[in-house]
Structure 1
Amino acid sequence: MGNTYRRVLLKLSGEALMGDLSYGIDPAVVDAICAEIKDVVNTGVEVAVVVGGGNIFRGIKGAAAGMDRATADYIGMIATVMNAMTLQDSLERKGVQTRVLTAIEMQEVAEPYIRRRAIRHLEKGRVVIFGAGSGNPFFTTDTTAALRAAEISAEVVFKATKVDGIYDADPKVNPDARRFQTLTYSYALEKDLRVMDGTAIALCKDNNIPIMVFNLAVEGNIRRALMGEPIGTLVGGSCGIS
């Protein structure tokens, strides 16, 4: 199958890096994810990644425990940089040139985020990993993924999750829950389907960037998704509800 996309953004949750652990990073899981990213890069697709930090620290939970929300979010941003550097290490051990760009300046360990620099890295075939969220508290890494996708002119946002798409109910609770193959942005927002937070979906809607939600746990799914195979659920402006 030929390449369907030229430039894509892959959104990974911090929890995706945990595997079966209750906290932290499972190196075997990271290596498996990075092996699939390498396969995609080798086909000529330009890949950018936004990674969360929930496996280390989640700002909203810190705030719920009594921390100042902005402070908690900044700590969560730093956690995403730890994950970004872990992904970078795994990719570079596989021979994939990788750059971490952070929204909070950390010049000893990563480059500051500059849009034109990020695009240039992608054009040179490097994987670009965006760390530290958007650099602003009160915004999720889902919103960061939508924002960076728009800034770098990515053709699609791939949201890697623990389920195989978007359902009309929780499939773990309701065995009769129906999985959607395609959805409109408006329907996802109206029904609050939690594919991404509302700000992220609205950003993708405004910039006409489709969102593909797929199951990260199935081996080979990153490559299948980025090659355009119909796995998961596609959310877009021209999509019907099916």
Structure 2
Amino acid sequence: MPETSKYNRIVLKLSGEALAGDEGFGINPVVIKNIAEQVAGAKELGVEIAVIVGGGNIWRGKIGSDLGMDRGTADYMGMLATVMNSLALQDSLEQLGCETRVLTSIEMKQVAEPYIRRRAIRHLEKGRIVIFAAGIGNPYFSTDTTAALRAAEVEADVILMGKNNVDGVYSADPKFDSGAYKYDTLTYMEMLQENLQVMDATASSFCMDNDIPLVVFSITEDGNIKRAVSGETIGTFIKK
């Protein structure tokens, strides 16, 4: 029996660090090629895919702010980092024959289209992989919040959050706590009450209020994006 997608439309959230591989900084061509192949494989199931990539492999606004930089300036630099990552992912996907569009919240006509909700939905309906870049265009908001907002705007069925260093949500950091245990399912309220820091509180509250489910899983295992899209039980499932 051929594989099918559990969802009609998804938002895939990737951290910037997921593109860096073991180096921890910059864009690793081998890693981004692997991620692109996973996304292309999931697309074969017929699902509509929007992607949001962080910029932490290049720049983190909070670090600049902590060092005394104006927070707004530091955050805008972080948004530009997400554009670099988005263009790199677009190139990798198009080398695999996937039709893609990068939509940015900060206008830069020479490299990408401006984000317009109806345009984004139309691209998805036409089978294009849409990559949302530059956050929501305002400082003080994370790419987690961007994922939650864009998921609501394009009426996605779920947010798939790919992690490069963990395979789900744990009660504590398993690297430092041998007693940490993995959750198979959670509610957003439990996540907030236990301060599990899967995503920031703004994004978590937004997902809870708008009833957007979240799957947290490992991006480093080949085929996991496809497994998540097809509804296999992997990682941690978080719901209202």
TM-score by length of 2: 0.97
Alpha-carbon distance in 1 for matches of 2:75, 2:4: 41
Q: Percent identity?
A: 58
Q: Cα offset for 1:66? A: 1.1
Q: Tell me, what secondary structure is at the counterpart of 2:21?
A: coil
Q: Show the 5 A alignment for 1:135-154.
A: 135-154=137-156
Alpha-carbon distance in 1 for matches of 2:194, 2:116: 36
1:53-95 CA distance string (max 9 Å, x none): 0001100001111100110000000000000000000001110
Alpha-carbon distance in 1 for matches of 2:22, 2:174: 20
The equivalent position to 2:202 in structure 1, one of 189, 193, 199, is: 199
The equivalent position to 1:231 in structure 2, one of 219, 231, 234, is: 234
Q: Where does residue 50 of structure 2 map in the other structure?
A: 48
Q: Tell me, what secondary structure is at the counterpart of 2:33?
A: helix
The answer on whether the counterparts of 2:4 and 2:46 sit within 8 Å (CA) in structure 1 is: no
Q: Cα offset for 1:22? A: 3.1
Q: Cα offset for 1:179? A: 0.5
Alpha-carbon distance in 2 for matches of 1:146, 1:7: 14
1:144-203 CA distance string (max 9 Å, x none): 000000000000001111201111111111112110000011000111101110111111
Q: Where does residue 73 of structure 2 map in the other structure?
A: 71
Q: Tell me, what secondary structure is at the counterpart of 1:20?
A: helix
The equivalent position to 1:211 in structure 2, one of 209, 214, 218, is: 214
The answer on whether the counterparts of 2:52 and 2:147 sit within 8 Å (CA) in structure 1 is: yes
Is residue 23 of structure 2 the alignment partner of residue 21 of structure 1?
yes
The equivalent position to 2:130 in structure 1, one of 128, 131, 143, is: 128
Is residue 188 of structure 2 the alignment partner of residue 185 of structure 1?
yes
Q: Which ranges of structure 1 fall in alignment gaps of 5 or more residues?
A: 238-242
Q: Where does residue 81 of structure 1 map in the other structure?
A: 83
Q: Which runs of 4+ in 1 moved over 3 A?
A: none
Residues paired across the two proteins, number: 237
**RMSD between superposed Cα atoms in Å:** 0.7
Q: Which ranges of structure 2 fall in alignment gaps of 5 or more residues?
A: none
Alpha-carbon distance in 2 for matches of 1:96, 1:179: 35
Q: Tell me, what secondary structure is at the counterpart of 2:89?
A: helix
Letter matched to residue 167 of structure 2: D
TM-score by length of 1: 0.97
